[in-house]
Amino acid sequence: MQIPCLLKPQMRTILPSVLRVAVPFLTAVVFLFSASACSATSGNSEPSNQQLTTLPAASGNALEASEWGLPVNGQLDYQLGGSYTPEDTVQIVVRDRESPPVAGTYSICYVNAFQTQPGEEDMWSENLLLEGDGEVFHDPNWPDEAIADTSTTQKREEFLALTVPWIEQCATDGYQGVEFDNLDSYTRSFGLLSFENNLALAQGLVEAAHANGLTAGQKNTAEYSEALHESAGFDFALTESCAYYGECGDYVAVYGSYVLDVEYSDEMTTEEFQTLCEDPDSPNGMVLRDRDLAEPGDPAYVFATC
- Looking at the fold, whether 253 and 161 belong to one and the same domain comes out as yes
| Residue 80 to residues 33, 93, 108, Cα–Cα distance (Å) | 39, 10, 11
| Closest CA relative to residue 234, chosen from 285, 284, 199, 186 | 199
Return the DSSP state at 267: T
Residue 286, phi then psi, degrees to nearest 5: -125, 145
Task: State the pLDDT at residue 136.
Answer: 85
Number of domains in the chain: 2
**285 strand-pairing partners:** 260
Whether 106 has a pLDDT exceeding 80, the answer reads yes
Assess if residue 88 is contained within a domain. yes
Assess if residue 58 is contained within a domain. no
Domain carrying residue 248: 65-305
The pLDDT-based confidence of 126 (bands split at 50, 70, 90) is: confident
- Mean pLDDT lowest among 14-23, 99-108, 225-234, 264-273: 14-23
- Looking at the fold, whether 272 and 132 belong to one and the same domain comes out as yes
How does pLDDT run across 171-214, given as a tens digit for each residue? Answer: 999 999 999 999 999 999 989 999 999 999 999 999 999 999 99
First to last CA, the chain: 42
Distance CA 177, CA 170 (A): 8
Distance CA 243, CA 74 (A): 18
More confident residue, 231 or 133: 231
- Mean pLDDT lowest among 14-23, 89-98, 132-141: 14-23
Buried/exposed 49-64: b ≥16 CB within 10 Å, e otherwise: eeeeeebeeeebebbe
Assess if residue 48 is contained within a domain. no
- What average pLDDT does this structure show over 283-292? 94
Q: Rg (Cα) of the chain, in Å, rounded?
A: 19
Whether 124 has a pLDDT exceeding 90, the answer reads no
Distance CA 72, CA 95 (A): 19
Task: State the pLDDT at residue 140.
Answer: 82
Pairing of strands 142-146, 138-139: antiparallel
- Looking at the fold, whether 78 and 26 belong to one and the same domain comes out as no
The pLDDT-based confidence of 17 (bands split at 50, 70, 90) is: very low
- Looking at the fold, whether 176 and 270 belong to one and the same domain comes out as yes
- Looking at the fold, whether 139 and 28 belong to one and the same domain comes out as no
- Looking at the fold, whether 10 and 94 belong to one and the same domain comes out as no
Domain of residue 260, CATH code: 3.20.20.70
- Looking at the fold, whether 79 and 185 belong to one and the same domain comes out as yes
- Looking at the fold, whether 34 and 135 belong to one and the same domain comes out as no
Whether 138 has a pLDDT exceeding 60, the answer reads yes
- What average pLDDT does this structure show over 62-76? 75
Does the CA dihedral 30-31-33-37 come out positive or negative? positive
Q: Which residues contact 292 (CB under 8 A, 6 or more apart)?
A: 81, 300
Indicate the helix (H) or strand (E) that contains 244. none
| Closest CA relative to residue 180, chosen from 260, 112, 131 | 112
